[in-house]
Structure 1
Amino acid sequence: MTETQQRWTGDQVLALATDTASRQAAGHLAVPASWRGCGAGADSVWGQYEGGGSSPYRTAVDLTGPAYSCGCPSRKSPCKHALALLLLWSRGEVPDAAGPADWAGEWLRARRERADRKRGDSKRGDGKKEESSADPEAARRRAEQRLRRIAAGATELEQRLADVLRDGLASAPAREVWEETAARMVDAQAPGLAARVRELGALPASGPGWPSRFLSELALLHLLGRGFLRLADLPEPLAATVRTRVGLTHDTARLLAGGTVRDSWLVLAQDDQDDGRLTTRRIWLYGQESRRFALLLSYGAAGRAPDLALPTGLAQDAGLAYYPGAHPLRAALGDRHAAPAPAPVPPGTDLDAAIRSYAEALRLDPWLDAVPVILAGVVPIPGSGADPWQLATPSTGDALPLDPRATGLWQLLAVSGGIPLTVFGELGHEGFRPLTTWSGETPVRLQAGG
């Protein structure tokens, strides 16, 4: 094994899979007799899978990405062959080599040359892009015109919300009316407002506590609209949060050019959400030196996994640039300086400290759905009937309810066996949603059905 790259565990490899079928298929293909010409270097793994076809599938993995290349026709990234190769490598069944095979070396060089060119383009600054593409004055006028459209949309939305309060909750508009209002916000170029309007219309207009939940969401939507209409009166960090929440975006290249926070970023969780039109991948990181959380977002077309994938439980030496805001969490991934490497279990906090951190985050950004939290020394308590599952601290008797949408709860219970655990997840108004736990030093990704 090389001195510069430690092998990942099988669980960390399988955490990269896009779906259960890929994980299962990779397990069947991870048989040394089916592979030839395999090798592992300081930052890459390669081999050829003999699948019974006219020619073997050449498969290579750049561990610094990670990124994948395979001759198979699969559109998944990573495909089952790349996962199988990594499983063999994780078990020590791929020999070390001084350098990659010629075909793997060509792919690695081409990939890294493209990455170098991309970094060079971004470091030259956006000034070149602005000079060559559009008249700066025209760009300024377009930006001002969009701000006026959003302001008009926010004003119209305020009138709609005032009508709802005047008529009473019993006469709240039907979902179709909210959809029409959301479409108006899209026309006003305010996709963030449109999304919150749709969420408001999707709330059930019955059941225990629905009036307070409806009024709460109504108030947050009103607060966002009023905040945008009074941007000039807000402190800049809060104004940046409002601009982001209504749907104004930031140029990633310019953000990265402004400087990054370099750290050894522990990958806490990778969570995919598919709404039928878009797959959103949320990757939570924790800086082992900076002690800061960061959220990376990546997108893929419906049914396809996003390109960005980082193995849970490994640490990535990289630079991150945080998007501006009053409580910055989302970040852009900059240069990566080494391949991901195994990392220790992160330090956790107690339940009281977690709740205080959530309250402080809401003070800074009231539109936050949840905050990242690492809990230490907790055990899962199964719910019964209407009582929710909980995470409890045996030494104090304190407990925190789990989010009804949480998955992998029986898996979490099995890992614990009554022994306190470290658990990472998202703490929101509906409770705590666990995403990752650790069995000893091994991260366990909590999955649906578990």
Structure 2
Amino acid sequence: MNAMGVRWTAEQVLALAPDEASRRAGSRLGAAGPWSGAGGGEGVVWGQCEGSGRAPYRTVVDPAGPACSCTCPSRTSPCEHALGLLLLWAADASAVPDGAEPPDWAARWLAARRARTEGAARKAEGTPADPEAARRRAERRAARVTAGAEELERRLADLVRGGLAAAGQRGYGLWEETAARMVDAQAPGLAARVRELGALPGSGPDWPVRLLEECALTHLLDRAWLAADRLPAPLAATVRTRVGLPSVPGGAAVRDRWLVLAGYDTGDGRLTTRRFWLYGAESGRTALLLSFGAAGRAPALALPVGAVVDGELTPHTGSGQLRADPGARLLPVAGPAAPPPGGPVGAALDAYGRALREDPWLDSWPVTLARVVPARAEYGWQLADADGGEALPLTGGDRSRPGLWRLLALSGGGPVTVFGECGHRGFTPLSAWSPDDPSETVPLL
């Protein structure tokens, strides 16, 4: 295997596009015409692309990051030039030959990137410059979170005492004011739960039932935080994460060949969160990688769905947690890309139930369903065991319609393997595999 790893397919490159406009623009730049000085070596690909400016845009991409830099004014990442360069690299080895020496501008970017990566690794492995000051800061924050949890308990008690029906008459202002108090208490996890509570009154049939359920879970989280010193260490770590304290890596790094199962973005107007689900072929572990982008910027992490990457992932602490941090490099490699071993609907529900025992505030759990068939039911679409048995309703509404149509086309009425997230509202399909070609991962989001 050369230092650049395995060249991607065009589908894997286009899966990195942050939006449809970037995908179309990148596709137009995936030919040799506008490019000059393109090459690859020392783990990066580079080239200069003619644009509207007087000087060509200088583009360099590290496929193992993936990470990129371009002199164009675009704020999306990867930009259309990075996508076009990767498409050219994937399609034409003669246009982007390996084994070349990077030009000065690409070498400077590569050196700076490696220095940042090494510095971050040393920081993660080291100890604070002043451990005593760090301990005092942690104690002050814990005290503020405790004060916020106690105040939230009083407000939940007032809500239940006054009757849930009255919650629909108070408007959203009271909820937002309570959420702001949780932010002041440095408990963003509690603030997010309060905002979710405020969105429930009047949201549809049986909203008082759903409000009572969510109030109970919020009360449980409050009480767990106030008694965190008496909880088992893994559960205490989960509680700290759920109230909003940073999740930290704490396990041994796992080296494997990881299949990129799925990836998607969510946002709240202030922060974009990018999620990638990976499956280790040898370890059998499922891992969640998170990347964040603020102020309208795209998150830095970008992995092509269906690719196999070699590297280390370090799991975070906490019971039931699957989050992990990637190592310095995740290198694309050739290898089998078979889906994770799946099971029937009942096994997926059992897995979700076991995860809830360790983390009662869990919204969903990653599962793989084998030999299921998409079918229309009285209440909407569902995935049912092909051999008879149980079924799971599909979530997502109109947002998931394109993926649903792709799933239906892939199935053709026959059984398929589907990976997704199983939660109390149903199953969200994220990717699927056909029995005719189990090595091809079909993204559904």
TM-score greater than 0.5 by the shorter chain = yes
Instruction: Tell me how far 1:394 sits from its aligned partner.
Output: 1.8
**1:355 corresponding residue in structure 2:** 349
**1:108 corresponding residue in structure 2:** 110
Structure 1 counterpart of 2:293, from 288, 300, 307? 300
**1:35 corresponding residue in structure 2:** 35
SS state at 1:335 partner:
coil
Q: Which whole-Å deviations, capped at 9, do the CAs of 1:421-440 have from their partners, x for residues lacking one?
A: 22211111111111122352
Tell me, in whole angstroms, the C-alpha distance in 2 between the residues paired with 1:59 and 1:138.
43
Matches within 5 A, 1:302-317: 302-317=295-310
Tell me, in whole angstroms, the C-alpha distance in 2 between the residues paired with 1:303 and 1:27.
23
SS state at 1:196 partner:
helix
SS state at 1:98 partner:
coil
More displaced 10-residue stretch of structure 1: 148-157 or 77-86: 148-157
Instruction: Tell me how far 1:106 sits from its aligned partner.
Output: 4.2
Matches within 5 A, 1:233-312: 233-250=230-247, 252=248, 255=249, 259-312=252-305
Aligned residues: CA RMSD: 2.3
**1:48 corresponding residue in structure 2:** 48
Q: Which whole-Å deviations, capped at 9, do the CAs of 1:408-432 have from their partners, x for residues lacking one?
A: 2112212222232222111111111
**Are 2:60 and 2:69, in contact at CA under 8 Å, matched by a contact in 1?**
yes
SS state at 1:32 partner:
coil
Q: 1:411 to 1:302 in 2, by over 3 A?
A: farther
Instruction: Tell me how far 1:2 sits from its aligned partner.
Output: 4.6
Instruction: Tell me how far 1:299 sits from its aligned partner.
Output: 0.9
- Using the aligned pairs only, state the percent identity: 57
**Are 2:274 and 2:299, in contact at CA under 8 Å, matched by a contact in 1?**
yes
More displaced 10-residue stretch of structure 1: 319-328 or 338-347: 338-347
Instruction: Tell me how far 1:260 sits from its aligned partner.
Output: 1.6
More displaced 10-residue stretch of structure 1: 33-42 or 427-436: 33-42
Q: 1:177 to 1:185 in 2, by over 3 A?
A: same
Q: Which whole-Å deviations, capped at 9, do the CAs of 1:152-194 have from their partners, x for residues lacking one?
A: 2212211211222222221224322111111221222211111
Instruction: Tell me how far 1:61 sits from its aligned partner.
Output: 1.5
SS state at 1:177 partner:
helix
Tell me, in whole angstroms, the C-alpha distance in 1 between the residues paired with 2:224 and 2:442.
41
**1:219 corresponding residue in structure 2:** 216
Matched AA of 2:99: A
**1:375 corresponding residue in structure 2:** 369
Instruction: Tell me how far 1:197 sits from its aligned partner.
Output: 0.8
Residue 155 in 1 paired to residue 150 in 2?
yes
Q: 1:357 to 1:61 in 2, by over 3 A?
A: same
Tell me, in whole angstroms, the C-alpha distance in 2 between the residues paired with 1:38 and 1:380.
45
What 5-or-longer segments of structure 1 have no aligned partner?
none
Q: 1:357 to 1:276 in 2, by over 3 A?
A: same
Structure 1 counterpart of 2:329, from 332, 336, 357? 336
SS state at 2:331 partner:
coil
Matched AA of 1:442: E
**1:415 corresponding residue in structure 2:** 410
Instruction: Tell me how far 1:67 sits from its aligned partner.
Output: 1.4
Q: 1:146 to 1:51 in 2, by over 3 A?
A: closer
**Are 2:4 and 2:40, in contact at CA under 8 Å, matched by a contact in 1?**
no
Tell me, in whole angstroms, the C-alpha distance in 1 between the residues paired with 2:196 and 2:52.
50
**2:386 corresponding residue in structure 1:** 394
**Are 2:201 and 2:208, in contact at CA under 8 Å, matched by a contact in 1?**
no
Tell me, in whole angstroms, the C-alpha distance in 1 between the residues paired with 2:254 and 2:58.
37
Tell me, in whole angstroms, the C-alpha distance in 2 between the residues paired with 1:341 and 1:67.
20
Matched AA of 2:109: W
Instruction: Tell me how far 1:95 sits from its aligned partner.
Output: 4.3
SS state at 2:369 partner:
strand
**1:92 corresponding residue in structure 2:** 92
More displaced 10-residue stretch of structure 1: 352-361 or 336-345: 336-345
Instruction: Tell me how far 1:53 sits from its aligned partner.
Output: 4.1
**1:183 corresponding residue in structure 2:** 180
**Are 2:41 and 2:102, in contact at CA under 8 Å, matched by a contact in 1?**
no
Tell me, in whole angstroms, the C-alpha distance in 2 between the residues paired with 1:207 and 1:337.
45
Tell me, in whole angstroms, the C-alpha distance in 2 between the residues paired with 1:341 and 1:319.
17
Instruction: Tell me how far 1:340 sits from its aligned partner.
Output: 5.3
**Are 1:372 and 1:425, in contact at CA under 8 Å, matched by a contact in 2?**
yes
Q: 1:199 to 1:342 in 2, by over 3 A?
A: farther
Instruction: Tell me how far 1:138 sits from its aligned partner.
Output: 4.0
Q: 1:206 to 1:271 in 2, by over 3 A?
A: closer
Matched AA of 2:302: A
Q: 1:192 to 1:328 in 2, by over 3 A?
A: same
Q: 1:180 to 1:344 in 2, by over 3 A?
A: same
SS state at 1:33 partner:
coil
SS state at 2:137 partner:
helix
More displaced 10-residue stretch of structure 1: 43-52 or 295-304: 43-52
Structure 2 counterpart of 1:444, from 435, 442, 445? 442
Matched AA of 2:373: V
Tell me, in whole angstroms, the C-alpha distance in 1 between the residues paired with 2:204 and 2:117.
53
More displaced 10-residue stretch of structure 1: 353-362 or 184-193: 184-193
Tell me, in whole angstroms, the C-alpha distance in 1 between the residues paired with 2:324 and 2:414.
35
SS state at 1:130 partner:
coil
